[in-house]
Structure 1
C-alpha cells in the first residue's frame, strides 16, 4: 500500500559507484550462472540499472506470447498507458476509468458501502451511513483478496459460487463522514474502525452475471473491534497484555484490569493476504503503527524497552492522522502502550465458518506484513514467505514444525503455531541464506539472541516470545539484507515440467537507497523505521530506486527446509521514455521485456500473484495521476508476465489517483476479480469528487443492475473481469 497513509519517501541526494549486476554475474560460478542467465534470457542479462535495452529488444508487431516451460502463454495485446486528458472534475492527465484489452469486459462487482450481509443497508452518497451500518457493508480501501469455492455435487470446486475474503486496509477520512474530519467524535472514530478489517461475502454467478449475495449467511465483517484469539509462542507474554476496555458505541471504557495476552480486539491496516492449503484466509496487518497516537509525549528511544520498540516500528504521537486516540483510549499509546503489540501479525480466518474466531498467529513474527505465500514441498513440509513493507526491511520465511495433511483439514489447524521463523540474507555471488530467528542464533555482535538485552528472558520460551514481538530487531541483530520495500510474495506453480520451488517478491521502491550519508539498520535494533540510507548491493542494485524491481529465488534441494538458496533479479521496473538524469547504477529505464519495446513500462510493483496456470500478474502502486516521475507511465496498472523470459503485457489501467491491488480467480480461470483502492485520494472534504468520480462515472448502476449508482464520493471497489468468448483469462 502507498496512498496518503503510507510512510513517505524522502528526497534522494547523491549517487553511488557500486558494481553493476553484470560485474556480480561474471564473478559467480557456472552453476549459479545457469539460473541467473539461462532461466530468464535477456531479462537477467540486462539486470543492470544503467543499461538501455532499446538495442537488444526488437520492435515488432505484437503477437501472442507463446507457451513454454510451465507457462501457457499470453493471448492479448497490451493496452496503452492511461495518459489521456479527462473531463472535469478530474483535472488530470489520467482517464478516470478501468481499461482492459479488446475481447474482455470489466464490470463493477462490489464497492465501499455496498451491503454484504443480512440487515445491510445501501450506501449513502453523502457518507451519512453510521458505524453500525458500515459494519454490515463492504469496507473501505480494499486490498488483498482470495476466492474460496464451494464444492459441487461431484465433489469438485464450483466455478460459479464461492466466498470472497477481501482486506479493507484503511480509510480516507475526508470522505468517510459528512464532516470529513478525522476523529471529530467517537461516532466518526467508530465508523473509521468499522471500515477497516476484512469483508467476507458470498459471490454467485446467475445467468452469466456475477453478484454479491447480500443475504448470505456467510456474509461477515471483521473490524478494528472484532474479538480475536492470540496463539503461538508470544501468546500470554507480558508485552501482549494491554488495558482491558468495554468497547461500546459511545466509547471505550476501562475496567481497571489487563487482558490475558491470549485475547485481542480488532484487525487493522489489512494489506495483502495469503491462503492456506486447508482453505483458510490469511489477512496481513501492515501499517498498524499509523492507527495509534498519543495524547502525551511518547517515551524516547533511549528510555527503555517501549521507547525502543515504538521507534523501531515507527510509532509517533500523531500516527497517520486517523486521530482514533483522541476519542478511543485503547489506541492512545500514552495510557495503553501494550495495545500496539497486539497488531502487526498474520491473522487466520475460516471463511466457511461465520462463527469462527480469527486467530493471530504469532509464530509468523510481528512486522508490517504484506503477504503470506505458502508452499508445500514434495515431503509435505509447509512454508510461508513474507515481506515487511517498509524501506530497508526484510524478507522472511516460516517453516512449520509439522507436516501438512491433505486428507484431514482439522489436523492442520495448528500448523502455524509451531515452527521456525527465518530472515533472508542475499549475497553478492547470487546465493542466499535463511537465518533462523531462535534463541541460540548468534548475531553479528557474536552473542546468541538469548544473550542480547533486547530479548533477554527467564527461559528460552520467553526469549522466543520477545524475538517474535520484536521481529525487526531480531533481524537487525543477525545481519539480514535490507531490502527496497519487500511487499507481495508469489510462488511459481510446479506444473508443465517446472518443478523448482521458486519464489518471487516485489520490491516496490526506495529512494533512500544509495544516497548520502550512507547508513544501515543498527544491529542493536535502535534505528528509526525507514530512516537508514543503505548503499546499493547485489539484491538492490539501483540508487534512488524510485521504480522498484522484482527479485526471485530457488530453494536449494527443492525443499522448503533449505537454509540456502540461489537468487536473481527477475526484472527492474522503469520508464523507457524518461528524461531523468541517469546515475551510475540507475538510468531509470529499467529492463522490462516488451513487444513492442516500451509498451509495458510500469513502476512501483506491489501486488504479485501466479494464477494456477502459470501466468505471473503484477499490480502497481504509484501516485497514479501521471505527475512528476510518472508522467509517461500514467495511471497504475496490472501486467501479465512470462516467468521464463520476462516478457510482459499491460492488461489493465486504473482510474485517477488510485492503486491497483488485490486479485482472485475462479477455479476454472474464467473469472478474475481485481481491486481498485483509493480512487481520487487527496480530495478535500469540501469537494470529495475533485480528483475522481469513479466508479459511478463508468457504470452508473450498482452490481445488482437495478439501484442507481450514486455520485457524491469516489469509492474503492472490486471489479469482475471476464473474457467475451468465455475463455480463460490471459489466454
Structure 2
C-alpha cells in the first residue's frame, strides 16, 4: 500500500448513515434521541472557521513547548507500514510478541447473527453475577415467570454497565459495584405489550431493576476465580427510590425544589446510570445519562431551557405509580437527574450524594485523577450528538488517609468545558491545541448572564455561551496512569455535516461519522489541573480498508476492525482497552487492546466478543492481566425479539432467556 493511499483525508467523504443499533435499543436507552431534533443549536465555530483562523503548525508546537507540553507532535498521517516479518502477514496468526500486561492471541470478529461469547485460546469465561441473582437477605432465587417488585429490590439489577472492583483489606475479598442503566421490558415480561397496558407491578419491577448494585466478591486464592456472596453486610441495591442528597453551589436552587422537597436538597433515586469512575479515596461515581425519556411531558417547551430533550417525551409509564415522573405535575423533578452520584460502597448505610458543582448533563461518567498539587480532577463526557467535554477541578486537595476530608472533595471546585483548535489541514494530521474554558470559579459563575445555579443546572446552555467545541458523542474519558495522557472515546455522530447540522472540524473530521474516533489529550506540564493542552486523534475507527480510518500510524492491514468506541480502561503497561457499542461492521461488539506508545502505536487487537445484540461495558483489567471483567449489557436486544423468540440466550444458563451479566475472563 502506498503512502498516499494510506493518508487520512480531511475533506467530506461519502459515508453510510446509521449504525447497527436496533430500534429497541434506541427506544429504551435514549428515548430514540436520534429521531428528535439536535438539541445543540448554538452557533459555535466549526471546521471552516477553524481552518481560516488556524495558526501554522510550527507556531502551535512552539507555543506548546513553551507551556511545557510533552509529546505535542504525537500524531500523524497514515503512513505506509511494512510488515515487521516481511511479506504478507495473517493478522490472526499474531506473529508479534507484544510484551504487554495481557498476553493473548487475537480473535476474529464474530458475525452479528452468531450468538456466542468468544475469548482467546487459553482463556476461559464464566458469568460472575446475572440479572435477578439474589444479593440481599430474604431475596428469592430468580424466577423469570414469577417476578415481583419485592424480589427485584433484593436481586441484582438489570443491564449492568459501568463495573468496578473496589478492593478490601483481604486480597481475596473485594466489592463489585455496577450501574444498572435501563430495562428491556420485552425481554423481561412474557406478556409485555407497552407501558400503557403494563400492570402497575410490572412498572414497579422495572423501576426496581434500575440504579446500582453493590456485591461482595470472594475467592479461595489469587489463582482462583471470584464468586459473589448471596448475602453480605456490604451488599446493597440503590434504586430510583433511594434517598439521596444534593451538595455544592446549586443545592437548594429554585430549579431543584419540588412539592415533596421544598428545600431542593434531598432528591430521591437514580437511573440512567451509564459509566462512572472509582476515586482515589475508594468511592464510586456514577453518571446519570439518558434521564430525559423517563418523564411524561407531551408538551414541547422548546428553547434553551430544554437542552435536555425532556419536553415532548411520552415517558415510560412510571408516572402511573409515582406522580413525580409526570413533568406536568412536577416540572422540576427532571432537573434533579443528570448529575454525578457518589456512592461509598464500604458503608451500606451511607447516603449517595449528587454533586451539583460537577454540572448537569447526560453524563457518560466521571473519572478522577490527582493534579500536581493534589487537587481532584474529574473528566466527564456528555453523551449526545454535538455535545461537549468537561473537567472539574476540586478546590481542596486530596489527603492520604483522611477519608472524611476526601469525601467532600467533589462538593466544591471549578467546572470547565473544552475548546479544541485545529492547526490546519496542510500537515495532513488531525492535531492541534485546546483550552479548558471556565464555567465556574470559586463557587461563582463566570458565564455572562447566568447565575451559578443556572450554570450548574443548565450546564449545556452555559457551555454554548462560551463557545465549546461540539463533539461526536464524547463518552468515556480517562487519564492513562502510565503516560499521563487523557483519552476520549467519541462513539459516533451520523448527523455530522448533514444539511443544516454542524460540519466537520479537525477534532471531529469525518462527516456522517458512524464508527467514531478516539482523541488523545496532552495537558500542559502533564498536570491534570492545567487549562491548556495539545491533542491528536490516535484512532479514527472503522473498516481498516476504508481510507478515512487511521490507526495511530500503524499499518491498517495488521489491525482488528473496531467500530463505535465507548468505555475505556488501561492495563499496568498503559495500553488502552476499548469496549464497543453499536459495531457497524457486521460483527458483534467486543473488547479491544490498543497500543498507544512505541513503534506499535495504534495497533488494535480484539480480545473478546459479546453475544448477539449485546454491548460490551465496564472493562476491568485485574490480577496483573490474568483476569478481565466485562459487563454484558442488553444481550439479545434485537428489534422484534421477545421472550418466546429471543435473539440471544446468554448467559446460556438453561433458561433459554437472555440475562445481562458481569463476566470474568481468566487466563488458563
Shorter-chain TM range is 0.7 to 0.9
Structure 1 residue 95 corresponds to structure 2 residue 114 = yes
Q: Show the counterpart of 1:475.
A: 463
2:40 aligns with none
- Confirm or deny that 1:186 pairs with 2:208: no
The aligned residue for residue 615 of structure 1 is: 575
Give matches, 1:111-130, under 5 Å.
111-126=130-145, 128-130=146-148
Residue-by-residue CA offset, 1:625-675 (whole Å, 9 max, x unaligned): xxxx523xx110110111111212100111001110112244554322111
Segments of 5+ residues of structure 1 without an aligned counterpart are 84-92, 153-157, 245-257, 303-307, 456-462, 518-532, 579-586, 701-708, 725-731
Contact between 1:11 and 1:512, CA under 8 Å: does it hold in 2? no
**TM-score, with length taken from structure 1:** 0.78
Equivalent residue runs for 1:54-93 within 5 Å: 59-60=88-89, 62-67=94-99, 72=100, 75-83=103-111, 93=112
For residue 271 of structure 1, give the secondary structure of its aligned residue in structure 2: strand
Please give the residue correspondences for 1:237-636 in structure 2 after superposition, counting only pairs within 5 Å: 237-244=253-260, 258-294=261-297, 297-301=298-302, 308-309=304-305, 311-319=306-314, 322-429=316-423, 430-438=432-440, 449=447, 451-452=448-449, 455=450, 463-494=451-482, 498=483, 501-517=484-500, 533-577=501-545, 587-591=547-551, 597=557, 599-622=559-582, 629-631=584-586, 634-636=587-589
Q: In structure 1, how many angstroms separate the alpha carbons of the residues matched to 2:639 and 2:588? A: 17
Work out whether 1:660 is the aligned partner of 2:616. Answer: yes
> 1: distance between equivalents of 2:107 and 2:473?
28
2:235 is matched with: 219
**Within the alignment, does 1:168 sit opposite 2:180 as a pair?**
yes
Gaps of 5+ in 2: 1-19, 38-46, 424-431
- Rate the CA distance shift 1:44–1:560 in 2: closer, same or farther, 3 A: closer
Match of 1:719 in 2: 663
Displacement of 1:293 in angstroms is 1.4
- Is 1:203 equivalent to 2:186 in the alignment? no
Mapped to 2, the partners of 1:573 and 1:102 lie a distance apart of 26
Range 58-67 or range 395-404, more displaced = 58-67
Counterpart CA distance in 2 for 1:300 and 1:362 is 24
| Residue number in structure 2 paired with 1:87 | none
> What SS does structure 2 have at the residue aligned with 1:399?
strand
C-alpha distance in 2 between matches for 1:591 and 1:198: 36
Q: Distance in 2 between matches of 1:646 and 1:25?
A: 26
Query: So what's the TM-score if we normalise by structure 2?
Result: 0.85
Q: 1:182 touches 1:188 (CA, 8 Å); kept in 2? A: no
Closer/same/farther in 2, CA of residues 664 and 509 from structure 1, 3 Å limit: same
User: Which digits, 9 at most, give the CA deviation of each residue in 1:63-98, with x for residues without a partner?
Assistant: 34545xxxx465322100002xxxxxxxxx532111
- In structure 2, the residue matched to 1:232 is 248
Within the alignment, does 1:640 sit opposite 2:593 as a pair? yes
- The aligned residue for residue 44 of structure 1 is 75
Structure 2 distance, partners of 1:505, 1:431, is: 15
Residue-by-residue CA offset, 1:583-609 (whole Å, 9 max, x unaligned): xxxx45443666782541111000111
TM-aligned CA deviation for residue 121 of structure 1: 1.5
Partner residue, 1:695: 651
Deviations 1:465-516 (A, max 9, x none): 221001000000000000000000111113xxx4xx3111100001111122
Distance 2:378 2:36 in 1: 34
Shift of 1:275: 1.2
Distance (whole Å) between structure 2 residues aligned to residue 32 and residue 654 of structure 1: 45
Change (3 A) 1:606 1:218: same
Following superposition, the deviation at residue 40 of structure 1 comes to 10
Alpha-carbon distance between aligned partners in 2 of 1:282 and 1:161, rounded to the nearest angstrom: 21
Q: Write the deviation string for residues 147-189 of structure 1: whole angstroms up to 9, x where unpaired.
A: 111113xxxxx1x210000000000011222322443232122
Alignment correspondent of 1:148: 166
**What is the Cα-based RMSD across aligned positions, in Å?**
3.2
Report SS of the residue matched to 2:267: strand
CA distance in 1, matches of 2:218, 2:56: 50
Q: Is the 8 A contact 1:52 1:589 kept in 2?
A: no
Deviation at 1:389, TM superposition (A): 0.2
Describe the SS at the equivalent of 1:609: strand
Going from structure 1 to structure 2, the CA distance change for 1:63 and 1:720 (only over 3 Å counts) comes to same
Contact 2:89 2:558 in 1 (8 A): no
CA–CA separation in structure 2 for the residues paired with 1:651 and 1:718: 16
